Structure 1
Amino acid sequence: MKNSFVSRHDGAVRLTHWAVAISGLVLIFSGFGTMPLYGRFYVNELPGLSWSTNFLIQQVIHYMAAMIFTAAVFFHLVFHLRRREFAAVPRKGDVKESIEIIKAMVTDQEEPPNGKFLAEQRLAYAAMGLTSLLLITTGLIKVYKNTGVITLDPTFLQVVTLTHTLATMAFLGLFVAHLGAFLIKANRPLLPSMFTGKVRRDYAEHRHREWDI
């Protein structure tokens, strides 16, 4: 039984996860590409990236990635709402529990009992979710403005653009933090589950004792 595995993420969850991650990174790259940055920092002189300073190409890529990102986020919401799966949603006491888990890691002591998701994972999930919805909302407003159907207040557009930019930076920071979490030894056994959907049973029973496997 020590080397057996339990299912943690099904195919739909993994597909949505990677769709959001990859399209999110493409959005960041293409979003900055619509600004006069890549030419200034000679990104366009790197092999295969001569097109990176072409505004129209970057805009098309940005819109295509945005459609995938938006579809993946809303599919995720509907999928889990219909199945009434709320294990990743933050709950009361998560901040305190996250501090206790971090303290236990630093001092090499026993962690508090965890469910399927750690407290900090639930908090990160909420932060990433809210940031993604903010990106989608402000992005749609910017697209609506570009259609020229109606003229929006310039001050309002400035706020929307600033919010979109700040949300982009927040998304990137959360993404880096998400990857950085796997530098912690205790978290590494969870990484393969985003590829295979499975995690070792002995690990789950030890660290996620409150998870109803």
Structure 2
Amino acid sequence: MSQKKKNKIYRQPLPNRFVHWGVAISIIMLIITGIGQMPVYGRYLIVQPFGTKWLTSYEITLLVHYFFAATLLFFTTYHIVYHVMKKEFDIWPKKGDVKGSYLIIKAMILGQKEPPSEKYLPEQRIAYLYFVISIGLVIVTGVIKVIKNIMGVQPTNGILFWGAQLHNLATVMVILGVVMHLAAFIVKENRKLLPGMFTGYVDEEYVKERHSLWYKELKKRYEKQS
């Protein structure tokens, strides 16, 4: 098959891994510095670990927050442009994904065989849409919050109020999304996907068993190239 090692299948190309880890690091730092601006660390952190003193400075956390907001915007823009140019939309939700997710979860709970799936499971596509909405809301409302700090620009009180409230809501949504994303790997079946986000490759038998529709597609592609 295309880009295949012995007993391995290439699932996540370098651009996907680049965006995944770039977004992950950006979000983690945005959460850390966002909490620092409240300011929680200076008020409630009784013991400050070595090297974390800067978290108590509003000015420093604001600058770091802005930096990682810019990196998040860069990685999301790169992600959109790359996949639009490549015309790759495998991760985008499809009709029937809610029912498909239910059937897969039901099969896992009852120990039954899961229905055949494509490159991405239905619940993975739904999770992707959730992150698109929550991260998109973080970016839009974050821009509104930045605008109020530009000299000579003064949005209405209503825009500032709802911008701040929705930014907080989006932040909570992102945090919940990250927790659910990590919790998914408690399920043994999902752990075989982890190597893909580091090396790009996943086990061929896993793909054959759990992503059989994608496996057949890859097999046909390989036969045409041979």
TM-score by length of 2: 0.91
Distance verdict in 2 for CA 1:103–1:122, change over 3 Å: same
Match of 1:35 in 2: 38
Match of 1:75 in 2: 78
1:135-150 correspondence runs (5 A): 135-150=138-153
- SS of the aligned residue for 1:199 comes to strand
- SS of the aligned residue for 2:124 comes to helix
CA contact (8 A) 1:38 1:53 kept: yes
Query: 1:166-203: per-residue Cα shift (whole Å, max 9, x none)?
Result: 10110011011111101100101001100000111111
Amino acid at match of 1:52: L
5+ unaligned residues in a row in structure 1: which ranges? none
Identity of aligned residues (%): 41
Tell me, yes or no, if structure 1 residue 184 matches structure 2 residue 179. Answer: no
- SS of the aligned residue for 1:110 comes to coil
Taking the aligned partners of 2:134 and 2:128, their CA distance within structure 1 comes to 10
Query: 1:118-175: per-residue Cα shift (whole Å, max 9, x none)?
Result: 0000000011011111111111111111113321111221100010011011001101
Tell me, yes or no, if structure 1 residue 151 matches structure 2 residue 149. Answer: no
Shift of 1:2: 11
- SS of the aligned residue for 2:93 comes to coil
Match of 2:117 in 1: 114
Match of 2:224 in 1: none
1:61-100 correspondence runs (5 A): 61-100=64-103
TM-score by length of 1: 0.96
The root-mean-square deviation of aligned C-alpha atoms, in Å, is 1.5
Taking the aligned partners of 2:133 and 2:85, their CA distance within structure 1 comes to 20
- SS of the aligned residue for 2:50 comes to coil
Query: 1:91-125: per-residue Cα shift (whole Å, max 9, x none)?
Result: 11111110111111111001111100000000000
* Count of residue pairs the alignment pairs up: 213
Match of 1:204 in 2: 207
- Give 4+ residue runs of structure 1 displaced > 6 Å after superposition: none
| Correspondence for 1:175 among 173, 178, 183 | 178
CA contact (8 A) 1:36 1:53 kept: yes
